[in-house]
Structure 1
Amino acid sequence: MKKIIFFALLLISSFLFSQQIHIKYLRVLSSFATSHEDLYIRNNQILSIQDSIITQNKLTDSWTMSVNLDNGRKPIKQYFVSDINNESERNIFFTSSVESKEFFIYDKVPKPDWKIDEKETKKILGYNCIKATGIFRGSKVTAYFTKELPYSAGPFKFFGLPGLILDIRTDNKDHDIWKAESVDINDKSAVVFKPQFLNKEKLSLKEYVEAKEAHMNKIFAKVTDNLPKTDSKVQVTNNQRFTVEQKYEWEN
């Protein structure tokens, strides 16, 4: 009987890894705005695409107009490219823009030190999921992953669990949340897993973070200069990181 179960699991695993799967996540950007992220996996290849369309926050049912700080330029989709491995770090390449200029960034992402609680479980889209907690670049996060989809992957730059992450969120926040809305284990989309972003300038993660924060500080300085000259103490603080990535490796 044990041999039959083993071979059945082996067949299921072989089927999954030979297929292309697609997970669509609701991505909560703030207390009022959401977008979507599409994660595609085939064999050991991963491509994740963050949508640029901002919508009403379905989790809080609130809404406001989004403000684009990049010189009035419409936001663009972001691409995250990587391969599944069992190492303590994962090479992830992603696209982004600063001051209307697009870049292709290389990031060596450390695996969070996950603590898995097998007793804490819940169903997500029909899959049995297990709770895990960890620290990702200075933020405490809680994830639910499923061993029924045996991929050490998740949205954005999350990985390192023995199964696919279907829900992950920053603790004690109403944003920085990724929640799976659908799973297709036999996706037929035409996906290029290793896109060639040769027309974009290449940067290291540190160079990108420095350029992005210098740009944001210019914006904060302009906002401060335009504040009414009153006695009220209104401050716009530089170097705030409105992201799950609060502390990078070179800052340790």
Structure 2
Amino acid sequence: MKKISILTLLLLNLNVFSQNVEIDYSVSENTNDAILSTSTTYKLAINKNQSVYFNNNDSIKQFKHQNLIFDVEKIGELTQVKLSDNHYAYIKQDFYYKNYEKDTLIYNEIILNKKIFVGEKVNLFNWEIKPKSDTIVLGFKCQKAIAKFRGRIYEATFSNEIAPYGGPWKFDGLPGLIIAVRSLDNYFVIEPIKIIKDSKSVNQIKNIYETEKIISWNLYRKTYENKLKEQLKKLKSLSEDGEVGTIKITDKIEDLELPEMKF
């Protein structure tokens, strides 16, 4: 495999990228706890300097086991779904904003039932490009690359026939637009449905987070851990028989490196 440096890659070819590109994706999360698995659609819109990636389906239809849902409740900005006595999930409208000139990625996350806003660099992956092949996806000649990122190994399919960089979710940093991704454990799968070059509907992209308080990934992880500890204290105070309870994060795309917590 050919190993590439991506320290300056995102700034290359800015002046030659004139297309406005749209891609519709099918996105699946095959969670460890199958009842929480989801499948929905996302859209990527990218122009010369910026991109946005967001989900279109904000209904209970995203849950693969939606037939099990027996309670839906609005809690603040979020909609909580109860799939069983022990399984709760939130309908979350994702919105990822990238600014390539500023090397900035901003997105929303949930800690318990509260929204927070996280900022990182666009440049997150250390890709190894596989030898060139004749892989064709939706009519575009593609290559593949592999990277390990926060607990998972991902294989990305990208094409320089569409744009010189860009991609869905946090994926980026290859010499072409990333149009498909899968984790090797099949937990996270992104597949293209439709690709539109020179899209007329991609207007000026805006950063919707300009007025929000943005925190770092490390602070997000620490805040998540602290909130779990608060929940454990509450559970401990409600426990009358001294039974040991635990909280363990098992259904996250990225490993937060949080140990199993007990009370």
How does the TM-score come out when normalised to structure 1? 0.70
Counterpart for residue 117 of structure 1: 130
Contact 1:115 1:133 in 2 (8 A): yes
Q: Distance in 2 between matches of 1:182 and 1:159?
A: 19
Contact 2:22 2:202 in 1 (8 A): no
TM-aligned CA distance change 1:191 to 1:97, over 3 Å: farther
Between the two proteins, the alignment pairs up a number of residues equal to 223
Which ranges in structure 2 are unaligned for 5 or more consecutive residues? 1-12, 80-90, 258-263
Contact 2:46 2:202 in 1 (8 A): no
Counterpart for residue 49 of structure 2: 44
Q: Which of 145, 155, 158 in structure 2 is aligned with 1:145? A: 158
TM-aligned CA distance change 1:222 to 1:187, over 3 Å: farther
Q: Distance in 1 between matches of 2:211 and 2:113?
A: 14
Q: Distance in 1 between matches of 2:185 and 2:177?
A: 23
Counterpart for residue 82 of structure 1: 98
Counterpart for residue 254 of structure 2: 245
Range with bigger deviation, 194-203 or 153-162: 194-203
Q: Deviations over 1:109-151 (max 9, x none)?
A: 5432212123444221111111111112231111111121133
Contact 1:34 1:54 in 2 (8 A): no
Q: Distance in 2 between matches of 1:35 and 1:130?
A: 25
- Cα distance, 1:45 vs. partner? 1.3
1:164 matches 2:163? no
- Cα distance, 1:206 vs. partner? 1.9
Q: Counterpart amino acid of 2:209?
A: F
Superposed counterparts of 1:1-252, under 5 Å: 17-30=17-30, 32-51=37-56, 52-55=58-61, 63-64=65-66, 65=68, 73-74=78-79, 75-84=91-100, 90-173=103-186, 175-189=187-201, 191-198=203-210, 200-215=212-227, 236-238=246-248, 240-246=249-255
Q: Counterpart amino acid of 1:47?
A: V
- Cα distance, 1:208 vs. partner? 1.9
Counterpart for residue 85 of structure 2: none
Counterpart for residue 3 of structure 1: none
Contact 1:39 1:49 in 2 (8 A): yes
Which ranges in structure 1 are unaligned for 5 or more consecutive residues? 1-12
The percent identity for this pair of structures is 22
Q: Distance in 2 between matches of 1:204 and 1:144?
A: 28
Q: Counterpart amino acid of 1:244?
A: I
How does the TM-score come out when normalised to structure 2? 0.68
Q: Distance in 2 between matches of 1:184 and 1:37?
A: 14
Contact 1:33 1:54 in 2 (8 A): no
Q: Deviations over 1:160-219 (max 9, x none)?
A: 11111111011122x311111111113233545222435533322222222334445666
Contact 1:84 1:152 in 2 (8 A): no
The RMSD of aligned alpha carbons is 3.8
